[in-house]
């Protein structure tokens, strides 16, 4: 289709565009696809993709409240534009399922340990108002309850420490080293990228580190004030792992079966090799963590440099292989015959 080449999708840009698109289409019944695409500076394919999403939007998920927009490939038709009109607006009413979900969630959050008391009281007041507004629809919520896993308590303590500018002591499990360490950290912010993390200044490593909340085995808010150095907050919307230029450089060579490494690990370069593999150069604040990657790759890849890391990965692979090859002493009777079976 006509238009500029498709650009990488950006959820924020697409959302803004679709909000503008609703107003644009309402004022132009039967607008031509090519004209709308040109007006928004996108390809016709991108426009059609937006149009596929719009029918899932509306004032609620009930029939008639969703946008009824479709296209025949040439023109765009909006069959119920009055659904969003001011004259069609109705007071917000919660259905029974919506009221139940909202009240159960609100009560659960109010029980989180470490929640600031002012926030807890505000939440309870809002919950009471929702109960009154929902009337009989709120009855079912009283028979349901939600209990948060331990991560909820960790989240509350971290949130409180950030609010009160206090230092945290944690026992943290590092899967790359398969060990639990004790650390004091100055929390900077909570972020969510698939899992929930706290970005903090680690007093043990004297560097900025990111800790996954479900790997915090124990947490305690300390009396010491939190005083992280002034650091520039990074945009973590696309990737949590964002190596710094001063981090050690690691070179990994992978075969065709290991090309996925370039897709999952941020890297400086990925050069093609003659066998269809890649020579990948990347940076990491903890090179030792890549030993697990080397074991996972097996015959599909190897660490080239630094030499000490390559030797360490080679040694770990040798030890793992030896554990499989070492003969194990069979317990009595484990040779497939039961005691006393001879001569049976």
Span 165-192, pLDDT tens digits: 999 999 998 765 667 889 999 999 888 7
Task: Kindly calculate the radius of gyration of the chain based on its CA atoms and give it in whole angstroms.
Answer: 29
> Which pLDDT band, with edges at 50, 70 and 90, does 338 fall under?
very low
Q: What angle do CA 103, 106, 111 make, to 5 degrees?
A: 130
Whether the CA torsion 51, 56, 60, 63 is positive or negative: it is positive
pLDDT of residue 39: 85
Number of residues in the chain: 344
pLDDT of residue 337: 46
Kindly report the pTM of this predicted structure.
Answer: 0.39
Looking at per-residue pLDDT, the higher value among 145 and 22 belongs to: 22
Residue 196 contacts by C-beta under 8 Å, 6 or more apart in sequence?
151, 155, 190, 212, 213, 214
The mean pLDDT of the chain is 76
Least confident range of 32-46, 113-127, 290-304, 329-343 = 329-343
Most confident residue range from 16-20, 33-37, 103-107: 33-37
Q: Prior bond to 306 cis, omega within 30?
A: yes
Looking at per-residue pLDDT, the higher value among 251 and 87 belongs to: 251
For residue range 218-264, list pLDDT tens digits in order.
999 999 999 988 877 765 554 555 556 667 888 999 888 888 888 77
CA distance 299 to 254: 9
pLDDT of residue 339: 42
Residue 269 in this model has a pLDDT that exceeds 60: yes
Place of tokens 């991108």: 46
Determine contact, residues 236/213, Cβ cutoff 8 Å: no
pLDDT of residue 142: 65
pLDDT of residue 156: 83
DSSP string, 220-248: EEEEEEP-----PPP--SS-S----TTSP
pLDDT of residue 115: 60
């Amino acid at each position: 289709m006509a238009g500029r080449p498709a650009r990488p999708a950006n959820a924020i840009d697409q959302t803004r565009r679709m909000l503008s698109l609703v107003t644009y289409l309402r004022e132009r019944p039967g607008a031509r696809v090519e004209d709308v695409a040109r007006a928004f500076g996108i390809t016709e394919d991108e426009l059609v993709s937006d149009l596929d999403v719009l029918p899932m939007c509306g004032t609620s998920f009930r029939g008639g409240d969703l946008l009824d927009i479709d296209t025949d490939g040439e023109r765009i038709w909006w069959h119920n534009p009055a659904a969003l009109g001011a004259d069609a607006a109705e007071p917000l009413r919660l259905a029974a399922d919506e009221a139940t979900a909202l009240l159960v969630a609100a009560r659960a959050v109010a029980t989180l340990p470490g929640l600031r008391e002012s926030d807890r009281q505000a939440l309870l007041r809002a919950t009471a108002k929702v109960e009154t507004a929902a009337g009989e629809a709120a009855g079912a919520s009283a028979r349901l309850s939600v209990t948060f896993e331990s991560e909820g308590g960790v989240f509350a303590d971290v949130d409180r420490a950030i609010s009160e500018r206090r230092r945290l002591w944690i026992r943290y499990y590092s899967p790359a080293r398969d060990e639990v360490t004790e650390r004091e950290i100055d929390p900077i912010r909570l972020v969510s990228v698939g899992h929930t993390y706290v970005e903090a200044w680690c007093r043990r490593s004297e560097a900025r580190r990111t800790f996954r909340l479900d790997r915090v085995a124990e947490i305690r808010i300390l009396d010491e004030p939190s005083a992280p150095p002034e650091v520039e907050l990074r945009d973590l919307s696309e990737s949590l792992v964002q190596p710094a230029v001063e981090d050690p450089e690691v070179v990994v060579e992978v075969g065709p079966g290991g090309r996925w490494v370039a897709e999952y690990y941020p890297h400086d370069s990925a050069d093609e090799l003659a066998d269809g593999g890649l020579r990948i150069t990347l940076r990491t604040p903890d090179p030792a963590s890549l030993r697990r990657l080397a074991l996972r790759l097996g015959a599909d890849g190897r660490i080239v440099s630094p030499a000490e890391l390559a030797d360490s990965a080679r040694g770990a692979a040798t030890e793992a292989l030896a554990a499989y090859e070492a003969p194990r002493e069979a317990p009595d009777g484990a040779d497939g015959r039961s005691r006393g079976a001879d001569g049976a």
